[in-house]
């Protein structure tokens, strides 16, 4: 039985009145699991996942259920585990191809992967995380999802604001909060709660929002979300924004399937606050969330001064790389390639200048140079650009387990020539191999290798 703090119970009995019993009872119910399917991948052979119960507010790609870390669906980036209510936030963002979007507190990457899929890898997504260890996890999830238009950064909000004044079409701030909405999913979060915790979080959220607003272009949208029930961090934060920033106004959020209006009476009584959205675990199949969508009106002389990134390849490197690509039948645009040490990244079109930024991932890592040879990387295999590798080998279930373990693939089906091979499973890239002497040598990253004893589960 989940033991809630007495002060928490008293607070929500005071706020909710007759609704409190159902609300508090919901904490003793089991949390709902969910995942979203990735439309950047080939989903044709994953009918069993598609048939699982849809999440109402993400009916096209959201499903109730679990995804296992050893499954083909997970390792190929076809599916991403994500709590059902959290999937509503990206639907409010409503990302469009070609937009410039910032996901400011993005780790572990559930919302970023949804946003990138909605953008169809067109435009620019910057996924930022202040914690370096969490930013590394974010980068890994971006890679596995086959995303090519994303820059992963590791900065405080005020540091980013120095680079991106009036720049983004949309900014998502899934704000660091008291986490009340995740208590039953993560009971450890209860240990951090105390009666002043929400006020402390609200003060931190206000400081972050000051940086956020300077990065939003005129007519740009701010999507503010939390996974807490606390009015101090929800309606009261939005009321503070409206009071202190005259250029901001609230946009309506489409609500159905049990999602409710925000509660103006918990802030300053401004009826516009009904345009925000609340997800209650006693009224939907999901955890607690709050979402608001605001627009910044057009002001005077608000132009961004962000320069575009250019390739840093020397003339000699460019020529050598063109020759190497030609030999291997690759056709990546040289003008969009940036070199970090031995690694080569294909950065998004209209990519901003990155000098002074801590970048973990710059678009798509396509390969590395080793003794003037080009070695395609795991990232390339997981993206749609993996089809630039001319040879493909579809792994059987047994060979899939071998390959994930790091073994050489023998007894091959089909004919191959010496060179690189895209290894696939259920029509999706899973890694890189190289054919030579009647076997395919394994280039699956050593840090990802694992033993799978059972048939791979989708």
The secondary structure of 268-337, three-state, reads CCCHHHHHCEEECCCCCCCCCEEEEEEEECCCCCCCCCCCECCCCCCHHHHHHHHHHHHHHCCCCCHHHE
CA distance 421 to 380: 12
Is 234 known as a binding-site position? no
Same domain, 379 and 264: no
Q: Mean of the pLDDT values across residues 84-96?
A: 98
Q: Which DSSP state fits 409?
A: B
pLDDT tens digit sequence for 157-180: 999 999 999 999 999 999 999 999
Number of domains in the chain: 2
Identify whether the C-beta of residue 273 lies closer than 8 Å to the C-beta of residue 263: yes
Identify whether the C-beta of residue 176 lies closer than 8 Å to the C-beta of residue 105: yes
Is 107 known as a binding-site position? yes
∠342-347-350 over CA atoms, to 5°? 150
Q: What is the pLDDT of residue 325?
A: 86
Whether pLDDT at 357 is above 90: yes
Whether pLDDT at 301 is above 70: no
Is 230 known as a binding-site position? no
Is 108 known as a binding-site position? yes
Is 42 known as a binding-site position? no
CA distance 229 to 233: 8
- Domain carrying residue 436: 315-445
Residue 227 is a catalytic residue: yes
Percent of the chain with pLDDT over 90: 91
Q: Given 150, 201, 227, 351, which residue is catalytic?
A: 227
Q: Mean of the pLDDT values across residues 4-29?
A: 97
CA distance 76 to 102: 25
Predicted confidence band of residue 12 (pLDDT cuts 50, 70, 90): very high
Identify whether the C-beta of residue 222 lies closer than 8 Å to the C-beta of residue 296: yes
Same domain, 274 and 217: yes
> Does a structural domain hold residue 304?
no
Residues 6+ apart with CB under 8 A from 353: 306, 307, 308, 309
Q: What is the pLDDT of residue 225?
A: 98
Same domain, 240 and 341: no
> Does a structural domain hold residue 308?
no
Same domain, 99 and 199: yes
Q: What is the dihedral of CA 413, 419, 425, 428, to 10 degrees?
A: -140
Q: What is the mean pLDDT of the chain?
A: 95
Q: Which DSSP state fits 205?
A: H
> Does a structural domain hold residue 14?
yes
Is 399 known as a binding-site position? no
Whether pLDDT at 283 is above 90: yes
Q: Which two tokens stand for residue 159?
A: 């540091």
Q: Which two tokens stand for residue 303?
A: 């132009």
Same domain, 128 and 23: yes
Is 106 known as a binding-site position? yes
Whether pLDDT at 328 is above 80: no
If you search the block for the tokens 């997981």, which residue do you land on?
Answer: 382
CA distance 207 to 213: 11
Q: What is the pLDDT of residue 372?
A: 77
CA distance 120 to 287: 28
Sheet of 62-64, strand order:
62-64, 34-37, 79-81
Same domain, 102 and 246: yes
Same domain, 290 and 377: no
Identify whether the C-beta of residue 274 lies closer than 8 Å to the C-beta of residue 261: yes
CA distance 299 to 277: 28
Instruction: Examine the fold and report which residue of 296, 325, 340 is the final residue of a domain before the chain moves on.
Output: 296
Q: Which residues are registered as beta bridge partners of 359? A: 153
Identify whether the C-beta of residue 277 lies closer than 8 Å to the C-beta of residue 253: yes
Predicted confidence band of residue 202 (pLDDT cuts 50, 70, 90): very high
């Amino acid at each position: 039985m989940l033991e809630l703090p007495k002060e928490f119970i008293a607070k929500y009995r005071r706020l909710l009145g007759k609704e409190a019993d159902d609300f508090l009872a919901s904490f003793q119910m089991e949390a709902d699991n969910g995942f979203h399917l990735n439309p950047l991948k080939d989903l044709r052979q994953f009918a069993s996942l598609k048939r699982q119960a849809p999440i109402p507010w993400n009916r096209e790609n959201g499903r109730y259920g679990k995804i296992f870390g050893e499954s083909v669906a997970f390792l190929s980036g076809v599916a991403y585990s994500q709590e059902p209510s959290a999937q509503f936030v990206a639907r409010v963002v409503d990302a469009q191809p070609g937009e410039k979007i910032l996901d400011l507190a993005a780790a572990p990457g559930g919302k970023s992967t949804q946003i990138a899929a909605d953008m169809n890898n067109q435009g620019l997504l910057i996924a930022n995380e202040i914690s370096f260890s969490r930013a590394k996890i974010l980068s890994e999830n971006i890679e596995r999802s086959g995303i090519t238009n994303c820059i992963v950064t590791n900065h405080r909000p005020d540091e980013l604001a120095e680079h991106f004044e009036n720049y983004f079409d949309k900014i998502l701030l899934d704000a660091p909060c008291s986490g009340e909405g995740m208590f039953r999913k993560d009971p450890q979060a209860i240990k951090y709660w105390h009666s002043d915790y929400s006020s402390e979080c609200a003060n931190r959220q206000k400081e972050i929002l000051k940086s956020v607003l300077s990065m939003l272009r005129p007519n740009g949208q701010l999507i503010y979300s939390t996974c807490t029930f606390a009015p101090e961090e929800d309606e009261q934060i939005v009321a503070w924004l409206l009071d202190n920033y005259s250029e901001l106004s609230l946009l309506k959020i489409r609500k159905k399937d049990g999602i409710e209006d925000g509660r103006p009476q918990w802030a300053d009584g401004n009826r516009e606050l009904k345009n925000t959205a609340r997800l209650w675990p006693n009224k939907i199949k999901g955890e607690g969330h709050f979402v608001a969508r605001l627009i910044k009106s057009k002001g005077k002389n608000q132009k961004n001064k962000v320069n575009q990134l250019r390739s840093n390849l020397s003339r000699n490197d460019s020529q050598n790389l063109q020759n190497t690509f030609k030999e291997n039948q690759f056709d990546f645009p040289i003008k969009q390639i940036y070199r970090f040490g031995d690694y080569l990244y294909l950065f998004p079109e209209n990519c901003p200048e990155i000098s002074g930024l801590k970048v973990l991932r710059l678009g798509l890592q396509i390969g590395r140079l080793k003794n003037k040879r080009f070695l395609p990387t795991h990232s390339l295999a997981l993206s749609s650009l993996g089809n630039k590798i001319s040879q493909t080998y579809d792994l059987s279930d047994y060979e899939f387990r071998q390959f994930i373990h790091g073994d050489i693939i023998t007894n091959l089906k089909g004919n191959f020539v010496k060179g690189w091979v895209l290894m696939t499973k259920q029509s999706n890239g899973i890694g890189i191999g190289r054919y030579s002497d009647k076997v395919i040598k394994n280039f699956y990253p050593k840090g990802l290798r694992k033993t799978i004893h059972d048939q791979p589960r989708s």
